[in-house]
Structure 1
Amino acid sequence: MSSAVSAPKASAPRRPSLWSRLPVVRQLRQSVGLQRGMLVAGLVVTAAFVLTAVFAPLLAPYGYSQLRDLDGAFGAQQSPSADHLLGTTVGGYDVLSRVIWGSQTAALVIVVAIVASIFLGILIGLVSGYFGGWIDRVLVVVCDAIYSFPSLLLAILAAIVISGGQSDLWGGILAAALSITVVFIPQYFRVVRSEVVRIKGEAFIDSARVIGTPHLRIMVRHVLRNSTRTLPLIVTLNASEAVLTLAGLGFLGFGIEPTAAAEWGYDLNKAIADVSSGIWWTALFPGLAIVLSVLGITLVGESLNDLADPRLRSRRLSKQVAGRVEQTSVAAPTVPGGVVTDELTLPGEASQLDTLEGEDRS
């Protein structure tokens, strides 16, 4: 009496959780090897930079423009000690406090510049790519012309126009953010425009037009949602350039006044004479803050850019599939007297092949 063997039922694929579908978490799960190490290191450094900027009032032992406490004045160019862990500057400010408060200034410039650049770049890129014609040609020429100007030169001109060179906190932030925005707009414009030109020729866009959907709804609901997938990569790469532009403004003397906010480039400018005198702490720690913040953001951006490549992104999956195939593969059967070929060879066929090979050699 034969018993029927029931085949196991295939289980339905389980939908990934909301946490695993988050942008950075998803890329972290896809990364492997050196990619994962770079991404993790960049995330750790960037998280430290962001947390320092957010909790600067709690972490800084003194104010960014504080020159004295209850015991008296701090003193200029004091070496690191228990009262001032990183020493004091030539102006008598606490170095550690200036470095911590400077992260907040840099974070504000990044946020203002990136938000303004994304809004304007996406807007003109969407209009240019969707409508085309003379509007597209004019916007392309204008953006190419703007992109040809150096970002630091635009930052200096914006600082002079807005605040006359020296400015308060928000004046300096707007001066740096405006110059960065002008330079970053062409980058977002190019990316969004190319995606819009590709998407507007799809069948679902033609179907929306046929049923009478307004242009604004098509642009916002259908085109825009499918043309901004690569923007997070550009944001991370441009954030590091925003930090460098702000530091360049401060170093050249067009940044924020020390009594209005702390800025790393300004502190580096004032520490130039200290280096030749053997006073190293006034320049080391602001410069190290610039390097670490830019390095962390750049590592995140480069890692996300590599993971956006399907060939690199599927490397981990290919290894898993190769491992399963190797475990389930079966070696080809060997026949006594047979010839090792890709196909199964019988003994009689092997002897005929040997005879033919002997005649060819003779």
Structure 2
Amino acid sequence: MVTITQTTTQGPGPARKQGRWRRLPVVHQLHQSVGIQRGMLVAGLVLTALFVLAAIFAPLIAPYGFSQLRDEDGAFGAQQPPSPEHLFGTTVGGYDVLSRVIWGTQTGLGVIVVAVLLSIFAGVALGLVSGYFGGWLDRVLVVICDAIYAFPTLLLAIVMSIAISGGQSSLWGGILAAAISITVVFIPQYFRVIRAETVRIKSEAYVESAKVVGTSNLRIMFRHVLRNATRTLPLIFTLNASEAILTLAGLGFLGFGIEPTSAAEWGVDLKAALSDVSSGIWWTSIPPGLAILLTVLGVTLVGESLNDLADPRLRGRRAVSAASGTVAETSVVPGGTLSAGPGGLAGLENEGRP
């Protein structure tokens, strides 16, 4: 008979506090990730955090306003090269490039927040009702959501932009135009996920028990089904946020974005810099292009990493020795003690052999 005991050295207080921190969403995924998977997640979180912080503190970070053309020394001048006064130079319209790149983060973050919040509320509500009640309503909603996929995202965004603001957008007009068009496209994604989870959860034993005791459908939907069906929403949110940035930039590049005097937007600045490229003026196009690239890259890395960590088949594994604990040397075995060293188990196997 072999008796193996496992010892732990953590106290109840620190272990409890450490366990609470590890249950937080981002911290939990960081603890799960290993190797290149952790590197991708950390890189994505850093880029995304820089984007969010720049949007929040843009009035403090930006050296000038997004539509400012002059200071106490006079006008900035158009297409001025990088200098100590203007680190990234000035645009063809005379705006400071660095300031417009920083202020553009506020516009991008606003589109992400509005679009994803509208998509989540509409998609979750429709998916919950459709999956729980089923019937003809479920079939109609499924057909409508399938039909929406036939519309290209950018084309729908152009139509919505013209319908809302006539193509000449103010700050909130441009944000709503892009956000509403993205919302219409994103709703089917949230609808499908929530509907599939609702169909699975409503057949669980605890839902059937709630029905037996007379619980109302509304209470079952929101207290039992909704709480368990929305666990994958953060993954969809991160993957869709990058598409929102690209749609907003596409609208601005095609001439349906926000006016430069109303707000800073990277797509509009890229369109204005098209004529500069052929003249050898690089500083008006590279900064906003890099801002779009790094923001989309950061959000995509976070989304893909979370998606991999949520799938046990794609999740990396830690070393067995680090996860299995320490085998105590006081374990009693026939003929002596059993150790976790290289020859411990091998010696036990060979003990009874001639």
Equivalent positions of 1:62-141 (< 5 A) are: 62-141=64-143
> Normalising by structure 1, what TM-score?
0.87
Instruction: Name the CA distance, whole Å, in 2 between partners of 1:274 and 1:160.
Output: 28
Give the alignment of 1:1-362 within 5 angstroms: 14-15=15-16, 16-313=18-315, 315-316=317-318, 318=320, 320-321=322-323, 327=341, 329-332=344-347, 344-346=352-354
Q: 1:8 to 1:36 in 2, by over 3 A?
A: closer
Q: Structure 1 residues 165, 9: CA separation in 2 closer, same or farther (over 3 Å shift)?
A: closer
Is the 2:37–2:316 contact (alpha carbons within 8 Å) kept by the matching residues of 1?
A: no
Aligned residues: 333
TM-score normalised over the length of structure 2: 0.89
Listed as ranges, the gaps of 5+ residues in structure 1 are: 1-6, 336-342, 347-362
Q: Which amino acid aligns with 2:41?
A: L
SS of structure 2 residue aligned to 1:18:
helix
CA deviation profile, 1:197-230 (whole Å, cap 9, x unmatched)? 0000000000000000000000000000000111
Secondary structure of the corresponding residue to residue 341 of structure 2: helix
Distance 2:265 2:209 in 1: 54
In structure 2, the residue matched to 1:356 is none
Measure the CA separation in 2 of the matches of 1:124 and 1:334. Answer: 61
Q: Deviations over 1:332-354 (max 9, x none)?
A: 5698xxxxxxx9555xxxxxxxx
Question: Residues 242 and 296 of structure 2 are in contact (CA less than 8 Å); yes or no, is this contact kept in structure 1?
Answer: yes
Q: Distance in 2 between matches of 1:12 and 1:193?
A: 44
Show CA shifts across 1:39-60 (max 9, x none): 0011111000000000001111
Work out the percentage of aligned pairs sharing the same amino acid.
Answer: 72
Structure 1 position 319, deviation (Å): 5.9
Taking the aligned partners of 2:283 and 2:346, their CA distance within structure 1 comes to 67
Q: Can you give the 5+ residue segments of structure 2 that lack an aligned partner in the other structure?
A: 328-339
Q: What CA RMSD, in Å, does the superposition of the two structures yield over aligned residues?
A: 2.2
- In 1, the alpha carbon distance for the partners of 2:240 and 2:301 equals 12
What is the deviation of 1:181?
0.4
Give me the whole-angstrom Cα distance separating, in 2, the residues matched to 1:206 and 1:12.
41
CA shift digits 1:280-305 (9 cap, x unpaired): 00000000000000000001011101
State the distance in 1 between where 2:70 and 2:176 align: 30
